[in-house]
Structure 1
Amino acid sequence: MGTLTGRTALVTGGSRGIGRGIAERLAREGARVAVHYGRDEASAKETVAAIERAGGQAFAIQALLGVAGDAEALWAAFDAHAEGVDILVNNAGTGGARKHIGDTAPEEFDEVFALNAKAPFFITKLGLERMREGGRIINISTGLSRRPMMPELISYAMSKGALDVFTATLAKEVGARGITVNAVAPGVVDTDMNAGWLRGEANKATWAAIAAASPLGKVAGVAEIADTVAFLASSDGRFVTGQWIDATGGALL
């Protein structure tokens, strides 16, 4: 039996990249995983199929986030497949337009905050009505919320900073139910979404620079983030709450 056997998990943005890695990792530990997607149904179905091929249990649910009624739509889709949730991973997010403050339009700012901060807030609000005692809430943040090194991602870093405050504050409110709330903050991760500027012969210098930023001398893969989430979701992480977990491989040191 895995460490999460008998648990039900929901991973937003679980069809690709870090989200898919988290969904597959939780499933390997025995959790039944709801793989949420916004538009990419094919990737969500492939993620579910991969989990099932490996002997796990999963189902796909669709809901656009960052729009009116998003949390209600997501949980309605979830409720059609499961009763109650034990693990909620707020992973879905957007980097938004890469623009400095002087070039950022109000609607671009609002779009980033709607998906990265508002959606997790209200998804969690409704999720708490369904979460069993001893549940886990894990928010995917970023190293940029603590060390903002990229002015062109100012809106993104601000939205994740809001998520960090949400994490610590909510932990104080739900602790009496045995629910833990933590944020996991990756740095640059080798995913398909980053492949265009990170992988390949033309990007060897970039890869080397990212690896050199970590004392461990490597670029993170999806597994490094998923394993951290799995620890927090397990009983081994039961006394860790309200924390911002640096998963940048020490790149912020």
Structure 2
Amino acid sequence: MSTEQTRVAIITGGSRGIGREAAQRLAAQGFPVVINYAGNDAEATAAVEAITSAGGRVIAHRADVSEPEAVAGLFDVAEQEYGGVDVVVHSAGVLNALKPIADTDFDEFDRVHRVNVRGTFAVAQQAARRVRDGGAIITFSTSVLGLSLPGYGVYAATKGAVEAITMILARELRGRDVTVNTVAPGPTATELFFDGKDEQTVARMAAQPPLERLGRPDDIAEAVAFLAGPARWVNGQTLRVNGGIA
């Protein structure tokens, strides 16, 4: 890849939370970014306005990541608008209602797997085909996977699949100078994290890390920016960004 070539990033789930923070961070570093979002037009518009007002280049594109044709269209838009794709940050995902495995409904199981596993596979497939040499692919797992917390059976299972897909893709892209890694956040102060949790649960989880606080979206975006840019010798790894929980 030419050193003069502007590096372009796609961020799925980029309208809110960690994805939005990552989009803002990369845009501030000079990446033209394409924000993918599932359906909240207002949040996508707000994300675009925030980046644009800070001097960044950004467009938003609505697409269901679990639909391969929609994901291909997302990459088409990035190529048409900015000339190519160098970095893919796949942060889109959903969390199930926290229940024991014995009480989990299979409709819920299928819904979460469709977005988190099928969606990751669809994005990984397009990224493998279309990210330019010298690029980076970053997926998202969770530190819950290593903690084996009760109630997270469905979600953790999907993220185990994400890690497997990511590690295999890193090896399949041998010779391309494309890094492939996954970021596994710990408890992070986002809308997704707070949903359905009472104050006692939040306080207990915030006290778990030795740093004794929840992560912030900018903590995770910092790791994303590292993997997207200078970390050319980090490949096929899971980076657990969790304040030292495990």
For 1:68 and 1:132, locate their aligned partners in 2 and report how far apart those are by CA, in whole Å.
20
Q: How does 1:169-180 map to 2 (within 5 A)?
A: 169-180=168-179
Within the alignment, does 1:211 sit opposite 2:210 as a pair? Answer: no
For 1:179 and 1:68, locate their aligned partners in 2 and report how far apart those are by CA, in whole Å.
22
TM-score (norm 2): 0.91
Within the alignment, does 1:100 sit opposite 2:115 as a pair? Answer: no
Range with greater deviation from structure 2 (66-75 or 4-13): 66-75
Residue in 1 that maps onto 2:219: 224
For 1:206 and 1:111, locate their aligned partners in 2 and report how far apart those are by CA, in whole Å.
25
- Contact (CA 8 Å) 1:185, 1:244: kept in 2 or not? yes
- Contact (CA 8 Å) 2:96, 2:155: kept in 1 or not? yes
Q: Return structure 1 stretches of 4+ with deviation > 6 angstroms.
A: none
Q: What amino acid is the match of 2:179?
A: T
Residue in 2 that maps onto 1:24: 24
Range with greater deviation from structure 2 (89-98 or 69-78): 69-78
- Contact (CA 8 Å) 2:68, 2:122: kept in 1 or not? no
Residue in 1 that maps onto 2:133: 133
Residue in 1 that maps onto 2:66: 66
Q: What amino acid is the match of 1:241?
A: N
Residue in 1 that maps onto 2:237: 243
- In the alignment of these two chains, the number of paired residues is 244
Within the alignment, does 1:233 sit opposite 2:228 as a pair? Answer: yes
Question: Structure 1 residues 129 and 66, CA, compared in 2 at 3 Å: closer, same or farther?
Answer: closer
Q: How does 1:99-178 map to 2 (within 5 A)?
A: 99-149=99-149, 151-178=150-177
Report SS of the residue matched to 1:189: coil
For 2:125 and 2:212, locate their aligned partners in 1 and report how far apart those are by CA, in whole Å.
39
Q: Percent identity?
A: 38
For 1:106 and 1:4, locate their aligned partners in 2 and report how far apart those are by CA, in whole Å.
50
Residue in 2 that maps onto 1:39: 39
Question: Structure 1 residues 19 and 4, CA, compared in 2 at 3 Å: closer, same or farther?
Answer: farther
Question: Structure 1 residues 5 and 99, CA, compared in 2 at 3 Å: closer, same or farther?
Answer: farther
Deviation of 1:79 after TM superposition, in Å, equals: 4.2
Q: What amino acid is the match of 1:55?
A: G
- Contact (CA 8 Å) 2:67, 2:122: kept in 1 or not? no
Question: Structure 1 residues 5 and 221, CA, compared in 2 at 3 Å: closer, same or farther?
Answer: farther
Question: Structure 1 residues 172 and 97, CA, compared in 2 at 3 Å: closer, same or farther?
Answer: same
Deviations 1:152-177 (A, max 9, x none): 22111000001011111111111310
Deviation of 1:55 after TM superposition, in Å, equals: 1.0
Q: What amino acid is the match of 1:248?
A: N
Deviation of 1:192 after TM superposition, in Å, equals: 3.1
Question: Structure 1 residues 146 and 4, CA, compared in 2 at 3 Å: closer, same or farther?
Answer: farther
For 2:236 and 2:185, locate their aligned partners in 1 and report how far apart those are by CA, in whole Å.
17
Report SS of the residue matched to 1:56: coil
Deviation of 1:93 after TM superposition, in Å, equals: 0.3
Report SS of the residue matched to 2:183: strand
Deviation of 1:35 after TM superposition, in Å, equals: 0.6
